[in-house]
A and B are shown apart, each in its own frame.
Chain A
Amino acid sequence: RKRNVLFIMADDLRTSLGCYGDPVVKSPNIDQLASKSQVFLDAYAQQAVCAPSRTSMLTSRRPDTTRLYDFNSYWRVHSGNYTTMPQYFKSRGYYTMSVGKVFHPGIASNHTDDYPYSWSIPAYHPASFRFEKEKMCKGEDGKLHANLLCAVNVTEQPGGTLPDMESTDEAVRLLKTRASDDVPFFLAVGFHKPHIPFRIPQEYLSLYPIDQMTLAPDPNVPKLLPPVAYNPWMDVRKRDDVQKLNVSFPYGPIPKDFQLRIRQHYYAAVSYMDAQVGRLLSALDELGLADSTMVVFTSDHGWSLGEHGEWAKYSNFDVTTRVPLIFYVPGVNRFNEWLGEFTFSFVDVLTQSELSFKNAKVGRNVVELVDVFPTVSYMAGLGAPEPCPDVSFQEKLCTEGHNLAYTFQHREQG
């Protein structure tokens, strides 16, 4: 039977999730997904910055093969005309759709999110995203600033919404249009959070009282860290509220009270994004698609939360390269199933924060984001692309990753 794919990506999400053992963060909807899925505990991005990582994952080629280390080239003309994961599905008869940030927008995806190669219809971007780079955060002076910390009253925002809310609405709308269609779909939904600025609904801050926040366990720059390994977190420094702190370049540090607030806002952004994942998954379930749709959840890379005296991504530390990687494959690893119950009930973290889920199965083997393409393809029944030869610039379809499907049969108890 047909197997649809719902491919969900977060932006800058480290493994700060309940299902990855984080004791602070509240992520019940992703945890619920994990409780019915194969969870890879040690998955790593190939480069800890958006465009190179996304292009690498979606082509299953390493940055040295995409030759994309910055944001300024399109792989089809810069390195090779590589087939992407959604393009592969499209070529096999799937209806492919992109909502939000899947490819990195702009030059890196030819200003089209690689449409029409990868997608059956033009990619959707939430209209409210344009406000993300404007001064939208009310400061103590009552004026609007381009702050890092930007918890807002959503009803006061333009259109009364935020980008990830809009993306969820559109994704649900698209699911409804595909629910009764015989053509299988590949729907990719890229959420913008917890990427900075932390422009999020203010109520999510209440989940993380500031007096319960702690600093990173290792908040100082290690003595023997080579200077070349250090990233000076320029994007964080440039925000209005951080500039006001007059932090020294390059090593800082950020004042401790502000570090606590950054951590609070990052966790709140994760919970807000988790709620959007919950809305999306519950819609999938209510439309009767949970039994016929593979769900993949991951992120482009992680984010430093003060570890090693660093913030943001841009490094090779685990906190920036390690990512969540979760595969829900109906009929293969659906656990904790009770007849008649919903697979993905929406959990409102604001009113049900005590609810917790336990991972059913976890994989502890070290895996990579280049493994996603062959694994998803194989599990959907399309077959994984062949491994790339040593030099693959002329190869349109191949993988530099591994098909992880065999690990689904070698699970460890969580």
Chain B
Amino acid sequence: EDEEAISFSQYPRPADTPQVNSDLPDLKDIKVMGYSLRSWDYRYTLWLGFNPQTFQVNVSDVHAGELYMLAGDPGQDENIYSEPDHSVMMRKMASLP
């Protein structure tokens, strides 16, 4: 109970750019999985390579990232993923269930 309360959400994509099946890709077409950590303070998302045959994600294959600090950006409009040192977030992501 001392752990930081976090929710995990995820969404699959067939490609790095929007295409007609981006909303609802069939399993065989999933190439990228976006995993989000949502805490009280932030939402941190990594879009990672995904193999639909093995259901395995490749944590070293980072397609994109998002980081929103919610105190100043509750609408999640200012993606600061490329700005700060977010190695702490990376470690949290590495411990995903």
Contact surface of A with B, Cβ cutoff 8 Å: 42-49, 62-64, 67, 69-73, 217-218, 222, 224-235, 249-251, 307-308, 312, 314-318, 321, 364-368, 390, 400, 406
What separation, in Å, do the CA atoms of A256 and B76 have in the docked complex? 21
B51 to nearest A CB, angstroms?
12
A362 to nearest B CB, angstroms?
14
Q: Which residues from chain B contact A314 at a C-beta distance below 8 Å?
A: 11, 22-24
What are 5 sample pairs from A and B whose C-beta atoms fall under 8 A apart? Answer: A46-B8, A71-B24, A218-B75, A234-B22, A249-B18
Could you tell me if B76 and A318 are in contact, using CB atoms closer than 8 angstroms?
yes
Could you tell me if B23 and A230 are in contact, using CB atoms closer than 8 angstroms?
no
B10, B47, B55, B81: the one contacting A46 at CB < 8 Å is B10
If A45-B9, A250-B19 are given as contacts, then 18 extra A-B residue pairs at C-beta distance below 8 Å, sorted by A number, are A44-B9, A48-B9, A63-B10, A70-B27, A72-B26, A222-B78, A224-B80, A226-B66, A227-B16, A228-B15, A228-B63, A231-B23, A234-B22, A250-B18, A308-B75, A314-B24, A316-B66, A366-B39
What separation, in Å, do the CA atoms of A406 and B5 have in the docked complex? 14
- B interface SS class: loop
**Closest chain A residue, CB of each to CB of B52:** A69
What separation, in Å, do the CA atoms of A42 and B22 have in the docked complex? 27
Known: A229-B47, A235-B23, A366-B38. A64 touches B10 (CB 8 A): yes
List of 7 A-B pairs having minimum Cβ-Cβ separation, nearest first: A226-B64, A250-B18, A44-B7, A224-B79, A314-B23, A366-B5, A316-B36
Residue B20 is within 8 A (CB to CB) of chain A in the complex: yes
Known: A366-B7, A400-B97. A218 touches B24 (CB 8 A): no
Known: A228-B13, A228-B64, A365-B5. A321 touches B36 (CB 8 A): yes
What separation, in Å, do the CA atoms of A22 and B66 have in the docked complex? 26
B23, B47, B75, B76: the one contacting A226 at CB < 8 Å is B47
Residue B89 is within 8 A (CB to CB) of chain A in the complex: no
What separation, in Å, do the CA atoms of A317 and B68 have in the docked complex? 10
Q: Which residues from chain A contact B80 at a C-beta distance below 8 Å?
A: 224
Q: How many residues of B are counted as interface, with CB atoms below 8 angstroms from the partner's CB atoms?
A: 48
Residue B17 is within 8 A (CB to CB) of chain A in the complex: yes
Could you tell me if A318 and B7 are in contact, using CB atoms closer than 8 angstroms?
no
A73, A226, A312: the one contacting B65 at CB < 8 Å is A226
Q: Which residues from chain B contact A62 at a C-beta distance below 8 Å?
A: 8, 10, 97
A49, A228, A231, A249: the one contacting B47 at CB < 8 Å is A228
B23 to nearest A CB, angstroms?
4
Could you tell me if B18 and A227 are in contact, using CB atoms closer than 8 angstroms?
yes
Q: Which residues from chain A contact B36 at a C-beta distance below 8 Å?
A: 316, 321
Q: Which residues from chain A contact B19 at a C-beta distance below 8 Å?
A: 232, 250
Q: Which residues from chain A contact B34 at a C-beta distance below 8 Å?
A: 228-229, 316
B7, B8, B45: the one contacting A229 at CB < 8 Å is B45
Could you tell me if A316 and B10 are in contact, using CB atoms closer than 8 angstroms?
yes
What separation, in Å, do the CA atoms of A228 and B19 have in the docked complex? 10
What separation, in Å, do the CA atoms of A218 and B8 have in the docked complex? 24
